[in-house]
Amino acid sequence: MEGMDESGTVHPLSPRERERERESNEMLSRARTQRRQASEAERTLWKYLRAHRLEGYKFRHQVIIEPYIVDFACLEAKLIVEADGGQHVDQMAYDKRRTSYLESIGYRVLRFWNNEILHETQSVLERIESALNNAPSP
């Protein structure tokens, strides 16, 4: 594998750079798979978040924010929305560390249980809108 510098000169990648590129490609592949295998709650929420439908903000689905893949992200507002299924009951400590890390790099994280998204959709959307409207200034 090779890389190119600013002048257009091609240089072989170091073993560390090759490993990082391989990991990045794997993460991208995993994000694509997760988009295709979205839960019903994620598909429901995505209907309202996609195409600037919520307050005109652009959301992306299954976004890589290394070292994690988040369910939904509005990069402009630095807002992450997570749809949590039953498996999250068993991984609360992991989710807490993950949220702490994402907050440490400037993101706000909202978490909703899948049943909230499916049965209280309007309330979930209102909470997301409130977070968007109260976004901190850059």
Question: For 60-98, what is each residue's pLDDT tens digit?
Answer: 999 989 889 899 999 999 999 999 886 655 678 888 999
* Structural contact between residues 132 and 74, judged by C-beta atoms closer than 8 angstroms: yes
**CATH no. for residue 106?**
3.40.960.10
d(CA 73, CA 109): 9
State the total domains in the chain.
2
More confident residue, 9 or 61: 61
- pLDDT tens sequence across 107-120: 999 999 999 999 99
Q: Note whether 78 and 110 are same-domain residues.
A: yes
Q: Note whether 31 and 60 are same-domain residues.
A: no
Q: Looking at the domain assignment, is residue 12 inside a domain? A: yes
Q: Note whether 26 and 52 are same-domain residues.
A: no
Q: Note whether 66 and 120 are same-domain residues.
A: yes
Percent of the chain with pLDDT over 70: 70
Q: Residue 1: what pLDDT?
A: 47
Q: Looking at the domain assignment, is residue 138 inside a domain? A: no
Domain encompassing residue 128? 38-133
104 dihedral zone (left: phi>0; alpha: psi -120 to 50; beta):
alpha
Q: Note whether 59 and 97 are same-domain residues.
A: yes
